[in-house]
Amino acid sequence: MGQLNKKHLSKIENYLDRQGLSFQPLRDEMMDHLIEDLENHMAQGNSFDEAWHLIMGKIPDNHFITLQKETVEIINKRFNLSRGFTYVSLILLFTAAIFKQLHFPFSGILLLTSFGAIAASLITGTLSGFLLHKEKEGKWMILGVISGAILFLISYGFQILKLPGFEELRLISIILLILFFPGLTIYFGAKKRSEENILIYLHKKHSPGIERYLVFLLFVATTLRIASIAFNFLPDISHFFLVLVIFGAYLQYFALNWHYPNNKNWWLLAGLVAGFLCFIVASVVSSMEVRVIFALLFFLITGLIVLKRSNEISHKIALISLVTFISTVLITWRLTGLHFIDPSFYPTIFNIPILVVLLSGLIFFRKQSLVKMYMLLVITQYCFFLM
């Protein structure tokens, strides 16, 4: 079979550029087809130029741009149902929050229904991705992650509504996440072509929507938390929203790290796995001292990873200053929680001005997804203990 050299491959790339083929999965597929056809013709004794002219003569005008448009339309139609469930879940969550705060009936039913909508969004989006990319590997891994995420959220819904079985559901969800998340982190870190995995493809496609969803939930949670302080409401409903945000931001934070080439940074992979385990321990243990220590370790590790991942030199100083400020607040907070510092110092740590600083950091780094998720994690934890 004839072999193509770098010059030939460059010519194919330039041709696809001129054709306006920008949708990467389709572009990769067309690149493979053209290479295969060219090599088959060359294996029959044709030169590259002869094979090129033979193939180009069979391709209609605007064929690739038309094919790209049709492919994107099919994808959008398949994912419309998933997006619809996402919007329904937001509406139901917001309505349930209002009903709960005003002590209206059916708030619990609305809350559980919103969970059902979130689960339906994840499931339909995942199945659509499977159908569109049957050739990609990793289907069992994404099913494990999705199942763990859904069960984790449902367990918190059961706990808030005081329904039996929430501990068993959370245990199963944590087992699934422990089985899949560290393994996936190491797998993608060691594998150069992680884009071949359907989980990475789906995550890249839906990351902007995931982040908008989490920021909206944070806005609702922060508003409810400040209102509970101002009007002396119970903070339980705002805490529920904060749990949703921190869990979602935590999954998104780790998933974003899968997109980076980690092959030569095994210490960074070890840090990600350690951070994941610290989060799990801090979420499930009953001992306050243990939770305090592991939560602090989690935020310090994730902050260092954010600094390492940042390539924006112009923002590096601002990011270092922000992470240092956050670390100082967190360490002081944890030392106060462990009674190394007098608890009367709490109002100095937890107040609206510091919250404004944290929110300003979120706005400043809004275009850097990894920093944004780190800030969401910090802000949600901070709002839990805001005085």
Q: Give 106-165 pLDDT, tens digit per residue.
A: 777 887 788 778 777 777 777 766 666 665 666 677 777 778 877 877 787 777 677 788
Among residues 138, 181, 171, 149, the alpha carbon closest in space to that of 274 is found at 181
Q: Residue 44's pLDDT band (boundaries 50, 70, 90)?
A: confident
Once rounded to an integer, what is the mean pLDDT over residues 69-98? Answer: 75
Cβ atoms of residues 136 and 87 within 8 Å:
no
Q: Is residue 85 part of a domain?
A: no
What's 380's DSSP letter? H
Cβ atoms of residues 180 and 197 within 8 Å:
no
Q: Is residue 81 part of a domain?
A: no
Per cent of the chain over pLDDT 90 is 0
Residues 166 and 278 in one domain: yes
Question: How many C-beta atoms lie closer than 10 Å to residue 339's C-beta?
Answer: 9
Residues 165 and 48 in one domain: no
Check residue 190 and give its pLDDT: 60
Residues 21 and 142 in one domain: no
- Which of 42, 59, 76 is a domain's end point? 59
Poorest-pLDDT segment among 21-35, 181-195, 329-343: 181-195
Check residue 201 and give its pLDDT: 67
DSSP secondary structure, 197-223, as one string:
BHHHHHHHHHHHHHHHHHHHHHHHHHH
Residues 211 and 328 in one domain: yes
Check residue 236 and give its pLDDT: 65
> How many structural domains does the chain have?
2
Residues 55 and 140 in one domain: no
Q: Is residue 17 part of a domain?
A: yes
Check residue 1 and give its pLDDT: 44
Question: How many C-beta atoms lie closer than 10 Å to residue 130's C-beta?
Answer: 15
Once rounded to an integer, what is the mean pLDDT over residues 30-46? Answer: 84
User: Cα–Cα distances in Å, from 214 out to 2, 4, 204, 221?
Assistant: 51, 47, 16, 10
Q: Residue 345's pLDDT band (boundaries 50, 70, 90)?
A: confident
Question: How many C-beta atoms lie closer than 10 Å to residue 248's C-beta?
Answer: 23
Q: What is the mean pLDDT of the chain?
A: 77
Q: Has residue 246 got a pLDDT over 60?
A: yes
Check residue 197 and give its pLDDT: 60
Check residue 314 and give its pLDDT: 60
Reported as a single tens digit per residue, the pLDDT across 269-278 is: 788 888 888 8
Please give the sequence-ordered ranges of beta strands (E in DSSP) within the chain, or none if there are none. none
Q: Residue 235's pLDDT band (boundaries 50, 70, 90)?
A: low
Q: Is residue 142 part of a domain?
A: yes
Q: Is residue 107 part of a domain?
A: no
Q: Which residue intervals of 231-287 are DSSP H helices?
A: 236-257, 266-284
Once rounded to an integer, what is the mean pLDDT over residues 58-67? Answer: 79
In whole angstroms, what is the distance from residue 135 CA to residue 131 CA?
9
Reported as a single tens digit per residue, the pLDDT across 150-172 is: 787 778 777 767 778 888 888 88
Once rounded to an integer, what is the mean pLDDT over residues 202-210? Answer: 75
Among residues 328, 333, 323, the alpha carbon closest in space to that of 364 is found at 323
Q: Which domain range does residue 40 map to?
A: 6-59
Reported as a single tens digit per residue, the pLDDT across 283-330 is: 777 777 787 788 888 888 888 888 888 766 567 788 888 888 888 888
- Which of 39, 59, 79 is a domain's end point? 59
Q: Has residue 279 got a pLDDT over 70?
A: yes
- Which of 28, 43, 59 is a domain's end point? 59
Q: Is residue 178 part of a domain?
A: yes
Check residue 165 and give its pLDDT: 83
Q: Is residue 70 part of a domain?
A: no
Find the largest Cα–Cα distance for the chain.
Answer: 86
List of long-range contacts for 106-114, beta carbons under 8 Å, 24+ apart: 108/161, 111/157, 111/160, 111/161, 111/240, 112/157, 112/161, 114/88, 114/89
Check residue 5 and give its pLDDT: 80
Residues 178 and 314 in one domain: yes
Q: Is residue 96 part of a domain?
A: no
Q: Has residue 280 got a pLDDT over 50?
A: yes
Element (H, E) at 323: helix 313-337
Residues 42 and 176 in one domain: no
Q: Residue 350's pLDDT band (boundaries 50, 70, 90)?
A: confident
Once rounded to an integer, what is the mean pLDDT over residues 52-77? Answer: 77
Cβ atoms of residues 218 and 212 within 8 Å:
no
Three-state DSSP class for residue 268: helix
Residues 183 and 327 in one domain: yes
In whole angstroms, what is the distance from residue 372 CA to residue 345 CA?
29
Cα 328 to chain center, whole Å?
26
Check residue 240 and give its pLDDT: 72
Residues 152 and 55 in one domain: no
Burial of 100 (0-12, 13-18, 19+ CB in 10 A): buried
In whole angstroms, what is the distance from residue 370 CA to residue 309 CA?
8
Check residue 326 and give its pLDDT: 87
Residues 159 and 46 in one domain: no
